[in-house]
Amino acid sequence: MLAPASSTTFQDYIEDVFLPFIKSQSSGNVRRVDVVWDTYKPNSLKAATREKRGHGDKFVISPSTKIPRKSWASFLRHEDNKKQLKQLLRLLAHALENLHVEGVDFYSNVLEVVVTSSDVDISAISPSNHEEADTRLFLHVSDAAKKGHKNCLIRTSDSDVLVLAVALCEVIPGLEQLWVSIGTGQHHRLISTNSIKRVR
């Protein structure tokens, strides 16, 4: 969803694209921001599916590695790059762990474990063996509701998340409203999953 734009290195990407976007999501009445990643387990069914999608260019990722200029999608397609992305995800999670916005707690998983910018109980969400962020993020929604957050907004580009949100919006204890912000540009929509549930 967050293309590298004019970033030269992965460190530039973190500072110029990723963190500004996270900060933009942290304004208003926001009190908690969770960023949830896939874990890319090597011998899973999902790994086999990704392998069938084809191959792109192979890279070794470090903060100083130059962003692939040819094609971001081609870079993400290569299975070995998925493994290397673990290094990038660690960098992104560490950046969130050290991000300070007044009144906002930041959470992010690094593979199976969760890191946070504040001293809070994370035992309900860490560790977790969910490979897909699609399902893992609902552990975070449930944890937020347990901590008193009655309204939640999920930002995604994956329609599977919307389906799960509609199915789960009324069964998570303490949660009153669950919204899904999906798509980008002209295709962006803000959807109340509670309303969809009631219409059904």
> What torsion, rounded to 10 degrees, do the Cα atoms 79, 85, 87, 92 define?
-170
| Residues near 56 by beta carbon (within 8 Å), at least 6 away in sequence | 71, 73, 74, 75, 76, 77, 78, 81
CA-wise closest residue to 158 among 135, 139, 176 = 135
Q: What is the pTM of this model?
A: 0.85
At residue 79, the 3 state secondary structure works out as: helix
Our CA angle for 109, 156, 34, nearest 5°, is 30
Peptide bond into 63 cis (omega under 30): no
What does the pLDDT look like over 37-96, one tens digit per residue?
A: 988 766 665 555 545 555 555 567 778 888 876 666 677 666 666 667 778 888 899 999
Q: What is the pLDDT of residues 116-168, one digit of tens each?
A: 999 999 999 999 999 899 999 999 999 999 999 999 999 998 899 999 999 99
